[in-house]
Amino acid sequence: MFSLYEEQMRSKSNLYPRARNGRGAPSNAVPQRFNLHDREIDGDWLDERDRIDDAAKLRTEVTIEFPKSIINYNSSPDLPFDRSINAYRGCEHGCIYCYARPTHAYHDLSPGLDFESKLFAKPNAADLLRQTFAKPNYQPASLAIGTNTDPYQPIEKTYRITRQILEVMLETRHPVVITTKSNRVLEDIDVLASLAELNLTAVAISVTSLDPKTARLLEPRAPAPARRLEAVRMLSQAGIHAHVNIAPVVPGITDHEIEAIVAAAAARGARSISFIPMRLPHEVAPLFEQWLESHYPERKAKVMSIIRQMRGGRRNDPQFHSRMRGQGPWAELIRTRLNIAARKAGMKKSKLKLRTDLFRRPLIRGSQLEMF
């Protein structure tokens, strides 16, 4: 017979799976959408498997896909760009808060562990981009890379798709903005510096926490904060507009670090800074609650309460204008603190405007224009 305490702990363990070493999501067990199959049906077998095989040995799988188009267009008033590219689907960084996780559900994969271990790569991305740019009706505008999944996640070292895309950008003199939380962006600093000389690029580095332990829990396979800040310094020294984005600010977990992050970013030469309050769309909400129960059970109620206060009483606010900014006293307090810290650090607000007048259409091999 189990004591009442033991029964409660056994019940709690079943409800909130233990965190896996080196992974962000505790499990694949999230509410189902799009006929997603439950991958945790045999609990006893999974328990035995985890005792035999270390859960950290969960292998990353990469599927090659060849899409017919590569640019995604949007009309969101919350975004400073109307087009973007994602070289990869899924992200090995495993950030528990990633708002792109639900996209895996469209492919009958879990937004949980599947999102960070079953990835898709698009090796023909650069060719598709060149073909798009060559069309007579294409008009250039700033193109964003990394708005959904990180273009410099670990598999970029093997596939180099982001590098190829940037080479097309330089070839065609097309403006591009990169968002990443990896210092691997420095491997392309030569191309980025050439683009920066023409005022054609900027790089946003995401820094959520300066504490390596907190960062490891939030973003288990992303580079340490110190490495990201060093990337900011090196990008800035190379003449590249370096921006730091505190995304997201996790109330009750990382919000006390706002001023310190701003100061650290300014010291490394960051020219601008911004933040995004925590947002929990679709399956991200239950995954994040599992994560809180695993790592910060004593703070869970407080964290979720503040998130709801910033999201109109819900765990997520999908409305334009407020979804990226938050609402209510907590969101306004974070915004005020960041603005004051930025002013003290000497960061002036400036709207980034990249050039589009240098654009030149690429020559497609075998086309009539190639003869000239």
Q: Which domains does the chain have, with CATH numbers?
A: 44-346 (3.20.20.70)
Task: Say if residue 163's pLDDT is above 60.
Answer: yes
Residues 87, 121: contact at Cβ < 8 Å? yes
Average pLDDT of the residues in 165-181 = 98
- Report, as an integer, the average pLDDT of 174-202: 98
pLDDT of residue 372: 47
Q: Where are the beta strands (DSSP E) in 141-240?
A: 143-145, 176-180, 201-206
Structure token digits, residue 357: 């007048």
The pLDDT value recorded for residue 86 is 95
> What pLDDT score was predicted for residue 296?
97
Which tokens in the block code for residue 104?
């895996």
Q: What is the pLDDT of residue 313?
A: 94
Q: Sorting pLDDT into bands at 50, 70 and 90, what band is 368? A: low
pLDDT 10s digits, 61-70:
999 999 999 9
Residue that wins the pLDDT comparison between 12 and 139: 139
- Give me the helix-helix angle, 258-267 and 328-344, nearest 10°: 30
What's the pLDDT tens digit per position in 205-254?
Answer: 999 999 999 999 999 999 999 999 999 999 999 999 999 999 999 999 99
Q: Is the pLDDT of residue 165 over 70?
A: yes
pLDDT at 319: 83
Residue 318 has pLDDT above 70, yes or no: yes
pTM of the model: 0.83
Average pLDDT, the chain: 87
Cα 178 from Cα 157, distance rounded (Å): 17
| pLDDT band at residue 48 under the 50/70/90 scheme | very low
The helix (run of H) or strand (run of E) holding residue 225 is: helix 225-237
* Mean pLDDT, rounded, for 321-350: 91
Residue listed under structure tokens 């045999």: 42
Give the pLDDT of residue 50. 44
pLDDT at 22 exceeding the cut of 90: no
Share of the chain above pLDDT 90, in %: 74
pLDDT of residue 21: 63
Asked which of 115-124, 151-160, 294-303, 342-351 is least confident by mean pLDDT, the reply is 342-351
DSSP string of 135-156, one letter each residue: STT-----EEESSSS-TTSTTH
Furthest-apart CA atoms within the chain: distance in Å = 86
**Least confident stretch, 83-97, 200-214, 316-330, 332-346:** 316-330
Please report the pLDDT score of residue 29 as a whole number.
Answer: 56
Whether the pLDDT of residue 97 is over 70: the answer is yes
Q: Looking at residue 78, what is its pLDDT? A: 80
Per the DSSP assignment, residues forming a β-bridge with 202 are 177, 241
- Residue 221's identity, in one-letter code, is R
How buried is residue 86: exposed, middle or buried, by Cβ count under 10 Å (0-12/13-18/19+)?
buried
3-state helix, strand, coil in the chain (%, to 5): 40, 10, 45
Report the pLDDT value the prediction gives residue 364, as an integer from 0 to 100.
79
- The more confident residue out of 35 and 182 is 182
Q: Rounded distance, CA 275 to CA 227, Å?
A: 20
User: Can you spell out the DSSP letters for 101-116?
Assistant: GGGGGGGT--TTHHHH
Q: What is the percent of the chain where pLDDT is above 70?
A: 83
Q: Does the pLDDT of residue 351 top 90, yes or no? A: no
Residue 81 contacts residue 177 (beta carbons within 8 Å): yes
Least confident stretch, 39-43, 102-106, 289-293 = 39-43
User: Which DSSP helix (H) or strand (E) runs through 248?
Assistant: strand 241-249
Pairing of strands 118-121, 61-64: parallel
Give strand pairing partners of 306.
none
Mean pLDDT computed over 336-341:
97
Instruction: Spell out the residues 6+ positions from residue 251 whose beta carbon is closer than 8 angstroms to its own.
Output: 277, 278, 302, 303, 306, 307, 310, 330
